[in-house]
Chains A and B, each alone.
Chain A
């Protein structure tokens, strides 16, 4: 059983499934964040309250946290195995043509993790009661954070790196699940590009608008 669960292909299968779940979650998160652009804090706070209390969402939340933990821990585990597979590297760097962003997945992933820790400290841990704050006014918390220039810079850099991570991740997940098709794979790659631009751009527009115009 261990051999099946911990085989290279199984580990990547789990990584891909967890990653795809996170890919589905991001547009949901973005759609709620768009309410931050309204001058009235009520709709966003209501949505945040709903996400925090509705039972069905609570179940999805558990799956989401599991997906994040599995994706991160398996990602690090696989990367360490990959490094160990070539104990002595080449003197001349590999010049073979590759999908460019695939080379930096661990680093773009690490930057997303850094952001996630900041993000959880500011919001999720408040709701869990681990950090002091008012969980019923996340609108106010978000607006005060976006007024800090340094926070915006970190936010924007992390979302650019998230975009680079997503671009490879999106199509790579399909390949890992065994879904490679003469006609559909190029379509998936185009969708991946659009997704990797639109999602980070959406988050960035919200932060810049609040920072500069509110």
Chain B
């Protein structure tokens, strides 16, 4: 395939970025989007030019590192996949592909397509954990958990914190991320102990960092590569009301 890439290039956080056009020949439909980006970078290095900076790590769709805004879609146009799992077979020969970084005030651009997502870490540190006494691991079945709750908690826990929800939301709201982290604990007996403190602290931190407010558009759910459900946000709201 022959492709035209319009990629956002920005030297550092302070620099004013712009789009740079690259032409790629011989892109195989079997490549992943990141492999195509690797090929582009190889070409740029060979031409003695600066390669495009982008985040990536596991390339298995579980680490949440990769994230590009491709043709108006976080992680590209295919639902339920991360950028690393996005196959080039979904594009056509001759396509022009626009690639931008996540855009949100709490996610400043560090360089090119890399944004600083430590805002999510700060929200997690505020309360996204359970406090346990260190020691021998307790017997797993000593606290009974309803199967339905265990399943829902797991479905929330698979959030990889990639930030696609924030990127897709017209308000740059982090409610889907926070609600997933709240839900994974709120549904389990171990998490209930600190539920009130957790939800207060995480929501307070989320607001403090400058994320927007949820207006129930559902864009986050549609863009989430892990298909985290909007029902989590309703649960977050309930947990918040219960905490006061």
Contacts and interface: CB of A to CB of B under 8 A. Distances in A.
Contact of A178 (B173, B206, B207, B234): B234
B234 A180 contact: yes
B216 A172 contact: yes
B172 A86 contact: yes
A177 B242 CA distance: 11
Contacts of A9: 203, 236-237, 240-241
Interface string B198-232: 00000110110011111111110011000000110
B153 interface: no
B217 A102 contact: yes
A93 B77 CA distance: 13
A92 to B, nearest CB: 4
Interface residues of A, number: 41
A93 B72 contact: yes
A98 B218 contact: yes
Nearest to B72: A95
Interface string A116-141: 00000000000000000000000000
A102 B215 contact: yes
B237 A91 contact: no
A8 B170 contact: no
Contact of A94 (B72, B175, B237, B240): B72
A174 to B, nearest CB: 8
B122 interface: no
A95 B71 contact: yes
A96 B223 contact: yes
B59 interface: no
A99 B215 CA distance: 10
Contact of B73 (A8, A96, A171): A96
Nearest to A11: B213
B233 interface: yes
Interface string A166-179: 00100110011111
A39 B101 CA distance: 64
B213 A78 contact: yes
A82 B172 contact: yes
A195 B192 CA distance: 38
Contacts of A105: 215
Contact of B216 (A3, A11, A94, A99): A99
B114 to A, nearest CB: 15
Contacts of B98: 91-92
Which of B69, B206, B216, B218 has the most chain A CB within a 10 Å cutoff?
B216
Contacts of A53: none
11 contacts: A8-B175, A9-B241, A81-B212, A82-B215, A85-B105, A85-B212, A86-B170, A86-B172, A91-B100, A94-B168, A178-B237
Interface of A: 3-4, 7-13, 78, 81-82, 84-99, 102-103, 105, 168, 171-172, 175-180, 182
